[in-house]
């Protein structure tokens, strides 16, 4: 059945120059699903099926998070997105003195395979696509997920999902790195090779501009520094002997969606075009899937306000719509109360409902790339592409992404942009509703979700029981094998999996690698 408007008029699945008399589109626009993919990576986009609706969730213990996952699945989410606490992100166990007070605060604490079992208890891993926002220890969490899936009877070739695994942006914007860049890149390439062999449908990296944007990067900087990092990952994989058309189709990206609606739509279109040309012309990729920039989007957490938090519902809806019109493959919508605390169950459900309204109550899923041919949007796409390519060339002139990171280039550029934005907000030049304009003194009190401090104590006790009940000699034997692999050139994923299966903890595995590879110390900057 063909789509129609609310007035009963026909609505075409794809519009082009024939729909506009006398319009001569630029040759780089093309058709949806065709190089350079300006109009989307698939010919039908959402007219065939909507984007994957993910909800980023995780807090406290694995049991607490598991209950939230079941609520989200029952509410209709098509994919889970796991938030890990800071100790897990940094490769420390919950009982490490260094992380006291941080366990379960910004995500779920995962110390071992036992926690991963609880986290996904009752979740059918052959039917749910899972995204894990984890970077330096991404390899460990992927292996734990695979081990738990195997216990469910789900083989690796049935698993679908994504690990972020993008450590380069940690040196630029977030700081949750562990190892030096060279060793981190080796681990990334080992994951690439392992996934090709063991988990072929898995997206083995989600190259992220989101966190750089949250740190203050402009849309042009977000695209440029993300794709410069992607170039470095491709080079690393090629140097490890991998063929570009074997691994490139499993690369994915992660961008922010902000309230600057038109520029965000243009940003996504420009990013697809740059990536397609880089993969074809620079790296010789011939498989069209290697040239497709597929990406997940999350609405902009940094733009949410603790003041008048209900207004964030409007912000998130606008941001989500920009991602959809920009052609995202999956989307997470932030809850309106996240500027205050972890989202409540009601707020998380409303965030998901926002996506469902866009998918089912609007007409944006009836036609592909409806803004194509807009004078404003096409000009903005061209200009944003030009600005991003120029920044990417500056990174290349410094020796590539890693060399530029070591010189502080990306970090300095982002900090300069963040400072300019802060000045604009402080002066009132940039209006933030409810913060520097249209504020009120009679806000209703809000009761945020709080993580019970007793959960940390319970997690530490759980870890102590694990250590006392496992085969300590087997754990040490497998960790020794991992150290030997790290000292040489073999893929570390197989000995790492053996250690995790023997119930070695995340902290113990990361410590074994720290002993061999060391820890990254950022250069002093002024």
Going residue by residue through the chain (526 aa), what tens digit of pLDDT does each one get? 577 666 576 878 877 665 444 445 555 678 899 999 999 999 999 999 999 898 777 777 899 889 988 988 888 877 788 989 999 999 999 999 999 999 988 889 999 999 999 999 999 999 889 989 899 999 999 999 999 999 999 999 999 999 999 999 999 998 899 999 999 999 999 999 999 999 999 999 999 999 999 999 999 999 999 999 999 999 999 998 999 999 999 999 999 999 999 999 999 999 999 999 999 999 999 999 999 999 999 999 999 999 999 999 999 999 999 999 999 999 999 999 988 887 888 998 999 999 999 999 999 999 999 999 888 889 889 999 999 999 999 999 999 999 999 999 999 999 999 999 999 999 999 999 999 999 887 777 777 667 777 888 999 999 999 999 999 999 999 999 999 999 999 999 999 999 999 999 999 999 999 999 999 988 765 4
**Integer Cα distance of 226 and 161 in angstroms:** 20
CB-hemisphere CA count at 13 Å for 319? Answer: 26
Cα 488 to its chain centre, rounded Å, is 31
Nearest Cα neighbor of 267 from 204, 340, 323, 314 is 323
At what angle are helices 472-487 and 506-517 packed, to 10 degrees?
Answer: 30
Tokens representing residue 342 in the block: 């972890």
Q: What is the pLDDT of residue 525?
A: 56
Tokens representing residue 79 in the block: 């994919």
Three-class DSSP labels, 26-72: CCCCCCCCCCCCCCCCCCCHHHCCCCEEEEEECCECHHHHHHHHHHH
SS3 label, residue 503: coil
Strands (DSSP E) contained in 72-183 are: 79-83, 129-133, 161-163
**Integer Cα distance of 57 and 77 in angstroms:** 12
**Integer Cα distance of 54 and 223 in angstroms:** 22
Q: What is the pLDDT of residue 197?
A: 94
Tokens representing residue 156 in the block: 């690796």
Q: What is the pLDDT of residue 524?
A: 64
DSSP states along 178-225: -S-HHHHHHHHHHHHHHHHHH-TTEE-EEEE-HHHHHTT--HHHHHHH
* Cβ atoms of 53 and 353 closer than 8 Å: no
Alpha-carbon distances of 315 from 49, 321, 430, rounded to whole Å: 25, 10, 15
Query: Domain-by-domain residue ranges, the chain?
Result: 26-427, 470-517
Q: What is the pLDDT of residue 6?
A: 60
Alpha-carbon distances of 337 from 257, 258, 358, rounded to whole Å: 18, 17, 20
Q: What is the pLDDT of residue 400?
A: 97
Tokens representing residue 226 in the block: 């993300």
**Integer Cα distance of 130 and 323 in angstroms:** 20
Tokens representing residue 525 in the block: 């900057």
This prediction has a pTM of 0.89
Exposed (0-12), middle (13-18) or buried (19+): which is 423, by Cβ within 10 Å?
A: exposed
Three-class DSSP labels, 9-37: CECCCECCHHHCCCCCCCCCCCCCCCCCC
For 26-427, CATH gives 3.20.20.240
Which region, left, alpha or beta, applies to residue 196 given φ > 0 means left and ψ of -120 to 50 means alpha? alpha
342: β partners:
449
């Amino acid at each position: 059945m063909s789509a129609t408007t609310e007035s009963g008029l026909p609505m075409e699945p794809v519009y082009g120059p024939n729909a506009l008399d006398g319009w001569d589109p630029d040759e780089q626009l093309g058709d949806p699903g065709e190089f350079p993919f300006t109009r989307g990576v698939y010919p039908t986009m959402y007219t065939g099926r909507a984007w994957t609706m993910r909800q980023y969730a995780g807090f406290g213990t694995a049991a607490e998070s598991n209950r939230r996952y079941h609520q989200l699945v029952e509410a209709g989410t098509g994919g889970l997105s796991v938030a890990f606490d800071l100790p897990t992100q940094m490769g420390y166990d919950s009982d490490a003195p260094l992380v006291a007070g941080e366990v379960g605060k910004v995500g779920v604490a995962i110390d071992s395979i036992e926690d991963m079992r609880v986290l996904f208890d009752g979740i059918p891993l052959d039917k749910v696509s899972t995204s894990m926002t984890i970077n330096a220890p991404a390899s460990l969490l992927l292996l734990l997920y695979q081990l738990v899936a195997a216990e469910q009877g789900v083989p690796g070739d049935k698993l679908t999902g994504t690990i972020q695994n993008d450590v380069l942006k940690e040196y630029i914007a977030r700081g949750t790195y562990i190892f030096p860049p060279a060793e981190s890149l080796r681990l990334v390439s080992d994951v690439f090779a392992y996934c090709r062999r063991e988990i072929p449908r898995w997206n083995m990296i989600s190259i992220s501009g989101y966190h750089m944007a949250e740190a203050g990067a402009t849309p042009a900087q977000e695209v440029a520094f993300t794709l410069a990092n992607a170039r470095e990952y491709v080079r690393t994989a090629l140097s490890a002997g991998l063929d570009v058309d074997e691994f490139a189709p499993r690369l994915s990206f992660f961008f922010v969606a902000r309230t600057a609606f038109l520029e965000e739509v243009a940003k996504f279109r420009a990013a697809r075009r740059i990536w397609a040309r880089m993969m074809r012309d620079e790296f010789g990729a011939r498989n069209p899937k290697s040239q497709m920039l597929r990406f997940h989007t999350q609405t902009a957490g940094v733009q949410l306000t603790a003041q008048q938090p209900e207004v964030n519902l409007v912000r998130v809806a606008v941001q989500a719509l920009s991602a959809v019109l920009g052609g995202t493959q999956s989307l997470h919508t932030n809850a309106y109360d996240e500027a205050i605390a972890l989202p409540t169950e009601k707020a998380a459900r409303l965030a998901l409902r926002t996506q469902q309204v866009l998918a089912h109550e609007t007409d944006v899923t009836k036609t592909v790339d409806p803004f194509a041919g807009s004078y404003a949007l096409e000009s903005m796409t061209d200009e944003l592409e030009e600005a991003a390519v120029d920044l990417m060339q500056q990174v290349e002139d410094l020796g590539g992404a890693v060399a530029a990171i070591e010189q502080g280039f990306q970090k300095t550029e982002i900090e300069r942009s963040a400072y300019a934005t802060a000045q604009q907000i402080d002066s009132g030049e940039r209006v933030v509703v409810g913060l520097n304009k249209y504020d009120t003194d009679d806000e209703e009190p809000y009761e945020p979700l709080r993580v019970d401090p007793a959960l940390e104590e319970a997690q530490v006790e759980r870890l102590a029981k694990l250590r006392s009940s496992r085969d300590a000699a087997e754990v040490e034997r497998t960790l020794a094998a991992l150290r030997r692999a790290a000292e040489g050139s073999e893929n570390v994923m197989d000995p790492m999996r053996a250690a995790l299966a023997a119930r070695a903890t995340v902290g113990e595995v990361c410590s074994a690698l720290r002993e061999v590879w060391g820890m990254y110390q950022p250069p002093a900057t002024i």
